[in-house]
């Protein structure tokens, strides 16, 4: 294990309220999650990322907090949360939480006070304009669901800015008191024992909003300041940020260019996510090769977080129109599967036609690419979506644990569940659940356990450097390698459906007893690497050599 734990972590993202309900009220809770930690330990995840846990009217699934210093009472108490941290730590699992400080709920006492009077001590905690801003109808993040970014508040008799929904007023980052408060929030949770934060909407947090200017400048110094604060409070804490921006802007989120990363430790790789989808849709690795080539060089300590699915729609907005159309045609052909004119609100298994070989290929590929893999709960058993639910709720259905009513998620009356469990068709809990897959050594769950175990023996993926192996390849095949102080891993992934043979003999001189460590089937000896067989949608992870001195 390298010095930086997050480089070789496997992050598992879950929403406590849809994971496991211990008290039968229909909402998942901390005690339910504690009861599932052994499952998570066996799966091999090393870090949990909890979607927002704060009190909230839940108009945006918790991304609208009313108190940053407490937990949503539906999930339990702060005591239960502390117990969760303790029990997770006992199993070597860290916990990070969402830090959603671009905005609050409009029900937050700060906003309630701010709107009540221009003299409120909280007035300047938000962003106001006396007159209707010219850019009122620009910059919406949720087109179709959101119609403006400035709304008039009758009580305040002023316009307030909200990058997201109307009920999420933006905090004013230019106010030093807001900055101090954000730092205090991080201190509080670090003191309780979290290992860091998934920072929501970072480009918008640092936006120095001015009415009428849709291209407001950004204050990156706040990220430097926050990083320093967090690191002093807890040396091994991480910031994992959501910053879905153009690739050339990414480096400045990691650091100020002075060499070492002094801002965000890890960024979600949205660019790779879109390109992975494109490559899968076209059965052509070119988009991934481009992504590997175009990846900006990271400062020391900087790291990518890779993902196939998260709790939001798959955002295809950075693909060209042709590329986007190809992905939509293949994976989200019905209008009902699409969202915001840019994305897909589906889980991976149904997108890939519930084809086990294709699902394995996709996840083997993600987990072998540079960075720290992030896995969304339920993907390890191949859960589906419920398109009858609104918007992004389609992919936020309860975890399917067993054959029991409600898929074992809760003993509540099905009518009382936070969201319905999927109970019909190929993805119903009767067919897709943990209990069934735990008992089956050939299940997708068993495969994930094996794959993640293999990753433990391949630290080069997380902390080494990854490059495309640029030799002639059969159509559809990606060959890449990861090099680190511990040795070299080589990966073959066949995005196409045809069986092929691959010649990697140019690597033979570097090889030292090369062996397959993860494959979709038995391929026999790797031999001289000159005639490596690879099935349609097949993959081979090959250890080329291992350093004996490290």
Q: Cite the active site residues.
A: 200, 242
- DSSP single-letter state for residue 300: B
Tell me whether residue 7 or residue 104 sits nearer to ligand NOJ (CB atom): 104
Tell me whether residue 40 or residue 100 sits nearer to ligand NOJ (CB atom): 100
- Name the token pair of 417: 């569940």
Phi/psi-derived region of residue 10, left when phi > 0, alpha when psi is between -120 and 50, beta in every other case? beta
Give the number of other Cβ atoms within 10 Å of residue 214's Cβ.
14
Tell me whether residue 163 or residue 179 sits nearer to ligand NOJ (CB atom): 163
**Positive or negative, the Cα torsion across 102, 12, 406, 347?**
positive
Min CB(145)–ligand NOJ separation in Å: 10
- Please state, in angstroms and rounded to a whole number, the distance separating the CA atoms of residues 198 and 97: 6
Q: Tell me phi and psi for residue 24, to 5 degrees.
A: 70, 25
Min CB(311)–ligand NOJ separation in Å: 6
- Name the token pair of 532: 């490596």
Min CB(167)–ligand NOJ separation in Å: 11
CA 291 vs CA 273, 439, 447, 467, 488: distances in Å: 10, 38, 27, 10, 21
**Residues engaged in binding ligand NOJ (CB under 6 A):** 60, 63, 100, 164, 200-201, 242, 311-312
- Please state, in angstroms and rounded to a whole number, the distance separating the CA atoms of residues 147 and 167: 12
Query: Which residue lies nearest ligand NOJ, judged by its C-beta?
Result: 63
- Cα 314–489–517 angle (5° rounding)? 90
Range 72-81 burial, b when 16+ CB lie within 10 A, else e? bebbbeeebb
Q: Give the position of tokens 């400045």.
A: 252
Min CB(238)–ligand NOJ separation in Å: 18
Which residues on adjacent β-strands are paired with residue 11? 47, 374
Alpha-carbon Rg for the chain, nearest whole angstrom, is 23
- Please state, in angstroms and rounded to a whole number, the distance separating the CA atoms of residues 154 and 136: 16
Q: Which of 228, 232, 250, 233 is nearest to 241 (CA)?
A: 250
Min CB(204)–ligand NOJ separation in Å: 8
Min CB(461)–ligand NOJ separation in Å: 25
Tell me whether residue 379 or residue 449 sits nearer to ligand NOJ (CB atom): 379
- Please state, in angstroms and rounded to a whole number, the distance separating the CA atoms of residues 404 and 188: 39
Q: Which of 448, 417, 290 is nearest to 24 (CA)?
A: 417
Tell me whether residue 17 or residue 326 sits nearer to ligand NOJ (CB atom): 17
**If residue 120 lies in a helix (H) or strand (E), which one and from where to where?**
none
Tell me whether residue 389 or residue 446 sits nearer to ligand NOJ (CB atom): 389
Tell me whether residue 60 or residue 393 sits nearer to ligand NOJ (CB atom): 60
Min CB(391)–ligand NOJ separation in Å: 10
CA 402 vs CA 43, 124, 439: distances in Å: 17, 50, 11
Torsion angle defined by CA atoms of residues 99, 101, 105 and 110, in that order, rounded to the nearest 10 degrees? 120
Q: Which of 485, 247, 269, 484 is nearest to 371 (CA)?
A: 269
Min CB(181)–ligand NOJ separation in Å: 18
Tell me whether residue 64 or residue 135 sits nearer to ligand NOJ (CB atom): 64
Q: Which of 315, 334, 316 is nearest to 324 (CA)?
A: 316
């Amino acid at each position: 294990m390298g010095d930086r734990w997050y480089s070789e972590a496997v992050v598992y993202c879950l929403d406590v309220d849809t994971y496991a309900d211990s008290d039968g009220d229909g909402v998942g809770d901390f005690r339910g999650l504690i009861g599932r930690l052994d499952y998570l330990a066996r799966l091999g995840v090393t870090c949990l990322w909890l979607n927002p846990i704060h009190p909230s009217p839940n108009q945006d699934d918790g991304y609208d907090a009313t108190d940053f210093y407490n937990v949503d009472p539906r999930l339990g108490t702060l005591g239960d949360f502390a117990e969760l941290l303790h029990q997770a730590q006992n199993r070597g699992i860290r916990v990070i939480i969402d830090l959603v400080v671009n905005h609050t709920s409009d029900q937050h006492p700060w906003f309630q006070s701010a709107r009540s009077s221009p003299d409120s001590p909280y007035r300047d905690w938000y962003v106001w304009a006396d007159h209707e801003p010219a850019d009122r109808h620009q910059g919406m993040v949720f087109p179709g669901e959101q119609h403006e970014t400035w709304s008039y508040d009758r009580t305040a008799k002023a316009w307030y800015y909200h990058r997201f929904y109307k009920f999420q007023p933006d905090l004013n980052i230019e106010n030093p008191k807001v900055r101090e408060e954000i730092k205090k929030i991080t201190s509080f949770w670090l003191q309780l024992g979290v290992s860091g934060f998934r920072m929501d909407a970072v480009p918008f947090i640092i936006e120095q909003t001015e009415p009428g200017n849709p291209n407001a400048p950004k204050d990156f110094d706040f990220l430097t300041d926050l990083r320093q604060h967090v690191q002093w409070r807890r040396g091994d804490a991480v910031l994992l940020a959501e910053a879905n921006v153009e690739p050339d802007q990414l480096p400045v989120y990691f650091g100020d260019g002075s060499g070492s990363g002094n801002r965000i430790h890890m960024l979600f790789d949205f660019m790779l996510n879109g390109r992975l989808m494109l490559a899968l849709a076209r059965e052509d690795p070119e988009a991934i090769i481009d992504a590997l080539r175009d990846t900006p060089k990271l400062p020391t300590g900087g790291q990518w977080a890779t993902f196939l699915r998260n709790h939001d729609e798959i955002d295809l907005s950075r693909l060209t129109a042709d590329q986007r159309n190809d992905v939509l045609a293949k994976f989200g052909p019905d209008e009902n599967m699409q969202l915001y004119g840019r994305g897909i609100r589906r889980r991976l298994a149904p997108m890939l036609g519930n084809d086990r070989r294709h699902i394995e290929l996709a996840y083997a590929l993600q987990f072998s690419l540079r960075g720290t893999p992030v896995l969304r709960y339920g993907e390890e058993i191949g859960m589906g979506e419920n398109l009858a639910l609104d918007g992004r709720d389609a992919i936020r259905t309860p975890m399917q644990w067993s054959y029991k009513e409600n898929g074992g998620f809760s003993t509540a009356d099905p009518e009382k569940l936070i969201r319905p469990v999927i109970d019909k068709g190929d993805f119903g809990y009767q067919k897709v659940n943990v209990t069934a897959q735990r008992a089956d050594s050939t299940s997708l769950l068993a495969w994930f356990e094996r794959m993640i175990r293999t990753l433990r023996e391949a630290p080069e993926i997380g902390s080494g450097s990854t490059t495309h192996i640029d030799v002639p390849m059969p159509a559809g095949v990606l060959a890449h390698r990861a090099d680190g102080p511990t040795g070299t891993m080589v990966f073959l992934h066949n995005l196409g459906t045809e069986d092929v043979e691959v010649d990697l003999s140019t690597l033979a001189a570097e090889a030292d007893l090369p062996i397959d460590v993860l494959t979709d089937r038995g391929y026999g000896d790797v031999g001289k690497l000159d005639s490596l067989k690879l099935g349609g949608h097949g993959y081979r992870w090959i250890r080329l050599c291992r350093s004996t001195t490290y």
